[in-house]
Structure 1
């Protein structure tokens, strides 16, 4: 069965992935209807075998007015380049970037950015961060050790020593001089593993999540307590 998505739903589906590797494994292709990305209907088949029938679109897809649009990795790259140039891009901005790439096989250069692959000014990045919008198209997380009960200090220090490549002495000192940042811009899976490791010691970490797009819900990795 072909499930049609609008642009926002398609972007949200990509953003729900952990990283580029999951995009590669989850989607076989991106098909879309004509008329521009903003108003198009999208289909994200789960494999190339589902996406194509003897190198042709399936009859059911063609009956819905769909045609081949972009490879999933390319689709994600277009979103990522647009996001890095304009962290608070709107749905219309992403649609323009996708349409431009589909027509010219090149990334759309945002006015004010010298290079197509360049990033936004620091002030613009900070404005996005203040609104809990992260730097990429997937959820990201900052993880902080804010409190460490004395009875768990040594065990926590061992974890910190491995994580931050410190000596045990340095790690103990760091665990006493809190707060201690344990990771920034971590993906969902890495954040969950880190939190689980400290949970097993009886130490609760502070987690601040950053959403992919301004309209996204605040992300929380499975099993994480204390997420902001």
Structure 2
């Protein structure tokens, strides 16, 4: 059965992936109906084969719904990522325009005022996005801070910190006695969850700050 999505739901599906590898594993192709992308409907088959018939043509079901191959998932994600780097607080319409531009010209849309050599927004605009809880990429990201640790588990915490930050255990022990301690920034969901679990297993308190991929989304959380 073909599940049709609007553009916002499609971006949410991409944002739900952990990283580029997850995008590759989750979607075979991006199919879309024609016209204005804000009004279009999208289909994300799990593989290319799912969208094609035995002759390698689009399936009768997708044809009946007016769906056509639009972009490869990796390319679709790249377009979103480039737009996000140039304008961290881009609107849904901004993403629609960036996608339409790439589909027509096979090139990324250059946002006015952005240095092509850097390819990203200025520090002030990035800080504004961060203040709004929007991360740097198109996937959820997390900052983790070790806030407290039981006295009897300081050594165990230091061993974990030493491995995580690749520093001597003695230095890690000193840092664990002078909390708070940043354990990681802009971590992907899987990495952040694994680190949080490691420290909470010894009774330590880890503060989590989640950053959402797009402004209209809720802040991501860990278990």
- Does the aligned pair in 2 maintain the 1:157–1:171 contact within 8 Å? yes
The aligned counterpart of 1:198 is 199
TM-score (normalizing by structure 1)? 0.95
The aligned counterpart of 2:34 is 34
Residue ranges of structure 2 left out of the alignment (5+ in a row): none
Alignment coverage as a number of residue pairs:
222
Q: CA deviation at 1:143?
A: 0.3
Which secondary structure does the structure 2 equivalent of 1:37 belong to?
coil
Residue ranges of structure 1 left out of the alignment (5+ in a row): 224-228
- Does the aligned pair in 2 maintain the 1:148–1:203 contact within 8 Å? yes
Residues 1:108 and 2:112 aligned together: no
TM-score (normalizing by structure 2)? 0.97
Per-residue CA distance 1:104-163 (angstroms, 9 max, x = gap):
000000010121860100000000000100000000000001112211100000000001
Q: Give the aligned CA root-mean-square deviation in angstroms.
A: 1.0
- Does the aligned pair in 2 maintain the 1:29–1:71 contact within 8 Å? yes
- Does the aligned pair in 2 maintain the 1:107–1:116 contact within 8 Å? no
Q: CA deviation at 1:39?
A: 1.4
The aligned counterpart of 2:165 is 164
The aligned counterpart of 1:174 is 175
- Does the aligned pair in 2 maintain the 1:109–1:116 contact within 8 Å? no
- Does the aligned pair in 2 maintain the 1:145–1:180 contact within 8 Å? yes
The aligned counterpart of 1:216 is 217
- Does the aligned pair in 1 maintain the 2:149–2:203 contact within 8 Å? no
Q: CA deviation at 1:217?
A: 1.2
Distance 2:107 2:101 in 1: 7
Q: CA deviation at 1:78?
A: 0.3
Q: CA deviation at 1:36?
A: 2.6
